[in-house]
Amino acid sequence: KQMNTFIIKGFMILFVSCVTIKLNLCSPNTPSFNTLPLDGHFNFHEVHHAARDFGNRYQFLPMAVLHPKTVSDIATTIKHIWDMGPRSELTVAARGHGHSLQGQAQTHRGVVINMESLKGPEIQVYTGSSPYVDVSGGELWINILHESLKYGLAPKSWTDYLHLTIGGTLSNAGISGQAFRHGPQISNVHQLEVVTGKGEVINCSEEQNEDLFHSVLGGLGQFGIITRARISLEAAPARVKWIRVLYSDFAAFTQDQEHLISAENTFDYVEGFVIINRTGLLNNWRSSFNSKDPVQASQFKSDGRTLFCLELAKYFNLDKTDLINEEVENLLSQLSYIRSTLFMSEVAYIDFLDRVHVSEIKLRSKDLWDVPHPWLNLLIPKSKIHTFADEVFGSILTATSNGPILIYPVNRSKWDNRTSVVIPEEHIFYLVAFLTSAVPSSTGTDGLEHILTQNKRILEFCETAHLGVKQYLPHYTTKKEWQAHFGPRWEAFVQRKSAYDPLAILAPGQRIFQKAI
């Protein structure tokens, strides 16, 4: 009996000490974290903002937020967690501008690294025949634009919205209307400085540690934290001719888009969007856009039809105004849009690039910015875009769209298949982005549930019709779904994970790998 009591007591002591050890390892609010030699600091109290993102649907409260001042702060913190080994549950999420949609930059009870604190050292622009800029991974693209414009230069490839960080967009791809010509943003990077999941600081490029370089680009934050990047620049134009024309025939619309992204002499930016069931369309058109022929335009009736808007831009400098007018006219003459719907505007280059910010300010003033955003972004092979459009715009989404639906093609040849991003196999594929906003607590067609059901129907159709669609800014919850997303590239992705973040410390919000405990 005495022996039994002794054994039970022994087990209890062992159990209590195991729990204590684990709790100590799990909590960063311990002397071990507080005594780390950092230039920046941890905050264990004001952590709620790090549990939110633009999607406004997922909230995971972290244990602490690190505000790093130096790369060494990030490396020291990750190394510290790495040294705890697999028994600690702690994970680390780099947070750029927090514009993820489903908690990708969050961590449940882990450490969020507020990358915007790392903005310094300053943005450095290098002029010369192949200009570039060196920036922190937490820098916003809008700031890079402002700085590089001082030298008459600018990055070549953009996103539609510039208040996003370098690290955030390079972890995905960074796609906009310039991608058909320059590739996505991940095709315009020369060099990166990365902190891996082991806490090592590594410089990488095409020439040096090239596997890490390609892993990190489009790598969903899985292989390292981007602390610095060298981005390719080009001469910046002063002005932009910004054009919108309408089509009622989807085949004519896509034919013109595909022609424009394949032609030698073409526009600098090609996008497009779908307009579902809107009456009085032309009266609501952006006021800064002037119709080429206001009389004819006023007679145009959209009558609730689905229309397709081609959006184009041509860059120029003021000394070339006449030449550019001629060129634009010539390019437009090759297209088959509805003639009365030519709308043109001329704006400064910076106003064109920062155009979505204008909408942000308006939406914020009406309290419509911080609402749930159940966005769905798809990459669709060219050969399947008509099947997709017939079903989605002809059957699933006939009533309304709850936000813009972008649709435009890009050239696969401008993407590097050594990076981690997954794209369709064909030479041309389309980005189709359902940028929906839900009205909080609505149970109608503008409510979250309705929009999520629509998204599900779209995804199910893509699956059953075998369209070969890939999600952009992908979101899955099971390993099986991730495996299907990566397809034959899954094994390589897993191998890269075991090389650079073997304990699965980084970017847990993507829900691809789970830290082994």
CA angle 79, 116, 512 (to 5 degrees): 55
Q: How far is CA 364 from the centre of its chain?
A: 21
Q: Is 89 a catalytic residue?
A: no
Shortest gap between Cβ of 295 and ligand FAD (angstroms)?
Answer: 35
Pairing of strands 269-275, 405-411: antiparallel
Nearer to ligand FAD, 62 or 221 (CB): 221
Tokens for 304, please give them.
Answer: 């609730």
Binding mask 140-159 for ligand FAD (x = CB under 6 A): -------------------x
183 binds ligand FAD (CB under 6 A): no
Q: Which residues within the stretch 211-230 sit at the binding site for ligand FAD (CB under 6 A)?
A: 220-221, 225-226
Q: Which residues within the stretch 226-255 sit at the binding site for ligand FAD (CB under 6 A)?
A: 226
Return the bridge partners of 274, or none.
308, 405
Q: Which stretch binds ligand FAD (CB under 6 A): 41-49, 94-102, 125-133, 385-393?
A: 94-102
Q: Which stretch binds ligand FAD (CB under 6 A): 12-20, 69-77, 172-180, 419-427?
A: 172-180
Nearer to ligand FAD, 403 or 447 (CB): 403
Shortest gap between Cβ of 219 and ligand FAD (angstroms)?
Answer: 8
Return the bridge partners of 239, or none.
316, 348
Out of 41, 89, 108, 160, which one is annotated catalytic?
160
Q: Which stretch binds ligand FAD (CB under 6 A): 24-32, 61-69, 167-175, 332-340?
A: 167-175
Residue type, 327: E
- Closest alpha carbon to 243 in 307, 337, 171: 337
Q: Is 301 left (phi over 0), alpha (psi -120 to 50) or beta?
A: beta
Q: Which residues within the stretch 39-58 sit at the binding site for ligand FAD (CB under 6 A)?
A: 53-54
Binding residue (CB under 6 A) for ligand FAD from 167, 197, 199, 474:
167
Return the bridge partners of 189, or none.
231
Binding residue (CB under 6 A) for ligand FAD from 169, 178, 196, 254:
169
Pairing of strands 189-196, 201-205: antiparallel
Shortest gap between Cβ of 185 and ligand FAD (angstroms)?
Answer: 7
200 binds ligand FAD (CB under 6 A): no
Return the bridge partners of 346, or none.
241
Q: Is 271 a catalytic residue?
A: yes
Binding residue (CB under 6 A) for ligand FAD from 309, 448, 507, 512:
507
- CA torsion sign, 60 to 64 to 69 to 74? negative
Q: Is 466 a catalytic residue?
A: no
Residue reference for tokens 């050969």? 383
Contact indicator for 105, 168 with CB cutoff of 8 Å = yes
Task: Find the Cα–Cα–Cα–Cα dihedral 96, 101, 107, 113, rounded to 10°.
Answer: 0
- Other beta carbons within 10 angstroms of residue 443's beta carbon come to 10
Nearer to ligand FAD, 147 or 354 (CB): 354
Q: Which residues within the stretch 99-118 sit at the binding site for ligand FAD (CB under 6 A)?
A: 99-100, 104-105, 115
483: phi then psi, degrees, rounded to nearest 5: -60, -40
Residue reference for tokens 């402002």? 146
Contact indicator for 248, 301 with CB cutoff of 8 Å = no
Out of 67, 97, 99, 373, which one is annotated catalytic?
99
Shortest gap between Cβ of 221 and ligand FAD (angstroms)?
Answer: 3
Q: Which stretch binds ligand FAD (CB under 6 A): 242-250, 461-469, 479-487, 503-511?
A: 503-511
Task: Give, to the nearest 10 degrees, the angle between helix 479-486 and helix 490-500.
Answer: 110
Shortest gap between Cβ of 458 and ligand FAD (angstroms)?
Answer: 19
94 binds ligand FAD (CB under 6 A): yes
Catalytic residues: 99, 160, 271
Positions that interact with ligand FAD (CB under 6 A)? 53-54, 93-100, 104-105, 115, 137, 159-161, 164-165, 167-169, 171-176, 220-221, 225-226, 356, 473, 507, 509-510
